[in-house]
Amino acid sequence: MSSPDFWSNTQNEREIQDYKKYKSLLEEYDNLKKEYQQIVELQEIITPDDNEYSDLEKEVQDLSGRIEDLDIRLLFRNQEDQSNAIITIHSGAGGTESQDWVQMLFRMYSRFCERKKFDIKVTDVLEGEEAGLKHITFLVQGQYAYGYLKSESGVHRLVRISPFDANRRRHTTFALVDVIPEVSEEINIDINPQDLRIETFRAGGRGGQHVNTTDSAVRIVHLPSGLVVQCQNERSQHQNKAVAMRILRARLYKLAKKEQEEKILEMKGDQKEIAWGNQIRSYVFQPYSMIKDHRTDYEVGNVQRVMDGEIDDFIDAYLRKDWQGRV
């Protein structure tokens, strides 16, 4: 790094990124250590009867949360973990019940992102006829957004007494969550313009003031792969096309990685079928309260806490198991 041409050499870009990442982690660790030492010193002179004691308790709780957050980020191993995340939630069989489940999951992830100070931008949404959402695609912007949320990719199962059933029967429904990293411009994804069919249509919801009177929404079909992406929430057709192309690049990148992984599995003779019914997590509201991740066996009984976006423990359990499996 002391070499005069180090910072101008584009071949060192990966090393520069890693340097900035680890430097930032070390600086954060040093700051947390200093805050901890200050709290220890204050604890020696403040008693529970002092007015400042409640403030000290809040500082301890805040520091504990940030230490746990740093501990999770130390488990991120891939360069793409630092990327933004593109999330799509699809409703499964079950009509209105399933569509309501999609909206509940979107709310859960929105609350999680608020706590992490991530920005959310909805790019495509299809509302249900009665309630909920048939599907929704949104971009999560923030450092390590994909690293945190990649554990959510898979089928999520809900068991509850349906509010849409007049007989108050228990229903089981599913939603599929797809999480992919937004691909940086440095990664070369070859897209031939002749392979694209670009369509425009009017954006909007069920009707009324939300219906756009111009064909600003954009749908892009990648003919060789059959991938379809669309964006309708930006202000202009040009902006919608730009966002749709970002999503298409990410999906093509994921497809290329999947094909490469399948070739490796085929060489190893290890074939694993991925089916809709293979849920990664079950959310049981009735007859008892429990949320269980079937990949890690981690479970909690406080359903409302999780649905309010506190999914950190599930993420931590997934990352630690994944880490152990690769060591």
* Residue-wise DSSP of 128-145: -SSSSEEEEEEEEESTTH
Q: Mind listing the pLDDT tens digit for each residue in 48-69?
A: 878 788 888 899 999 998 898 8
- What does the pLDDT read at residue 166? 72
Q: Mind listing the pLDDT tens digit for each residue in 262-314?
A: 765 555 444 434 345 579 999 999 889 999 999 999 999 999 999 999 999 99
- What does the pLDDT read at residue 135? 93
Strand partners of residue 121: 139
- What does the pLDDT read at residue 327? 53
Reported pTM: 0.79
- What does the pLDDT read at residue 326? 62
More confident residue, 61 or 108: 108
Q: Mind listing the pLDDT tens digit for each residue in 201-223?
A: 887 655 444 445 567 899 999 99
Place of tokens 């859960």: 108
The angle at the Cα of 268, spanning 325 to 226, to the nearest 5 degrees, equals 90
What CA–CA distances, in Å, run from 298 to 111, 174, 282? Answer: 21, 20, 11
**Looking at residues 30-43, what average pLDDT do you find?**
92
pLDDT of 233 above 90: no
Under 8 Å between Cβ of 220 and 197: yes
Reduced to 3 states, what is the DSSP secondary structure of residue 147?
A: helix
